[in-house]
Structure formats: structure tokens, C-alpha cells
Amino acid sequence: MNVSVVIPARLASTRLPRKVLADLGGKPVLRHVWERVARMRKATEILVATDSEEVAKAVAGWGGQFVMTSPDCRSGTERIASILDGLKGQFILNVQGDEPFIDPVLLDALVECFAAEGGDVVTPVYPIRDLATLMNPAVVKVVRGADGRAWYFSRSAVPHVRGVPMEEWPARGLHWGHLGVYGYARAKLAAYATLPESPLESVEALEQLRFLEAGWRIQTLETEYHAVAIDTPEDLAKARALLASAPVA
């Protein structure tokens, strides 16, 4: 099975402009992402999808491949769907350009999950074990079925555990966090442009709810990996400290 890994990257991020080119240990954040993805065993091709000539020049400088996209794309999924005709894969993996420590073993596991389980989309989830994470609206929570299928995504603490003090909720083992990495069946990604923005997507500001409202099956894969995404100057400072204290292999 051919696997296309696409890293959407734009400079005009709201909270931390130019973050994908920010310096992290002497390299741009985006290059760290690329190098981690390049360690996958199952990737047929790796591309950066960008609307920035500056990003494209940086990628070409380290020998990477890129594809130019429209600046009007509103999400990574939309950006990837717009270049689908030029991709080789039957399975398309969307890896965020601000995840410099992304685990290549996890990415290979997503490919294997799709090959074994099928579905329309596969995405990783991790157990939430502390109340601060559970109550943080920046952490997306997932309600799952016994078969691992996602039923709902929310910024709220779901499910609600009735009659139990909130500080005891994480100990119940019912709460899962979502990592923003997606693998798509090619046919579904081809149909993405036909999907209208959904009401739930609009109110939660979560693009995966568009998939659920359209009836797509989202299969989840459990992992212990926790994202180190860079969205703010504080995140970048933490990533620099992490790299300096314990360089990630």
C-alpha cells in the first residue's frame, strides 16, 4: 500500500506567526518534523504542503519536497485535499508542521491500524490521567466505543461522570485526549470538498466533527505519546528547554 505523508505548513498562524520556521536547536521547527517523519518505515513519499515561498525555499534547502497550495485553504485537511491528484498514496497521513517531536513509530502504527481495521479516518488518542488536562479546553477529548471507533470529540470534559467528584474522574479511565494527526482513506479525502461545514464543527472549532456529521467512521489508536505542539511563544520555550535538557532521538 502506497502511503503519502503530507505536512501542511503555513506562516500566518494566529497565536505564533512564522512558528514553522522558528529556530529550535539550530533548525526550523518544520525541519524537525520532517526529519522525524523521514524515520518512518512505511512512508512512500513525504511532502510539505505550503502557500509560502519562504517555507518552500527552506524545505528545498534541506533536500525536502514541497507542493504549493492556495492561501485560501482553511485547514490542513483542506490543503491536502487540494493536492490529492498529485499524491501517490491510497492512504494519506496528515502530520502537523508544529509537532517537532512526533513519534515515527506512532505514524507507522497508524498505517498498520488502517491496513488492519479499515475505516475512513484513523487518529491517535491517549489516556487522560490528571484533572488539569481533562478540564483544559485546548485539549480535545474523545468519546470512544468498545471497538475504538470515535463517537464524539469535544473541548469539554466528556463523558460526564454523574455523582462522582470531578477530581476523581480521571481515575475512572473513561477519558481520552486526541492528538491532531489524521490518516485518511484516499476516496474519503477526495470527497472532502463536497462536505459542508457542520454545525458541531462550527461551535467546537474542531474539523473532525465535520467527518462525524457526514457519517465517516473514525477509528482511534491508543498511544502513550503526548503531543508537544507549538502554538504559543510559551510552547516554543518549552520545546527549546526539552530539546536542550534531553535531546529527542
> Which 3 state secondary structure label does DSSP give 106?
helix
pLDDT over 90 at 160, yes or no: yes
> Cα separations (Å) of 211 from 34, 50, 73, 216, 236?
27, 23, 17, 5, 31
- The mean pLDDT value for 157-181 works out to 96
Q: Are 131 and 166 in contact (CB under 8 A)?
A: yes
State the amino acid at position 8 in one-letter form: P
Predicted pLDDT at 247: 58
Which residues, at least 6 apart from 182, have a Cβ–Cβ distance to it below 8 Å? 77, 93, 94, 121, 122, 123, 208
* Lowest mean pLDDT segment, chosen from 9-18, 55-64, 218-227: 9-18
pLDDT at 249 exceeding the cut of 70? no
> Among 93, 101, 22, 80, which residue's Cα sits nearest to residue 55?
22
pLDDT 10s digits, 214-236: 999 999 999 999 878 888 888 89
Rounded Cα gap, residues 169 and 176, in angstroms? 12
Looking at every residue in the chain, the average pLDDT score rounds to: 93
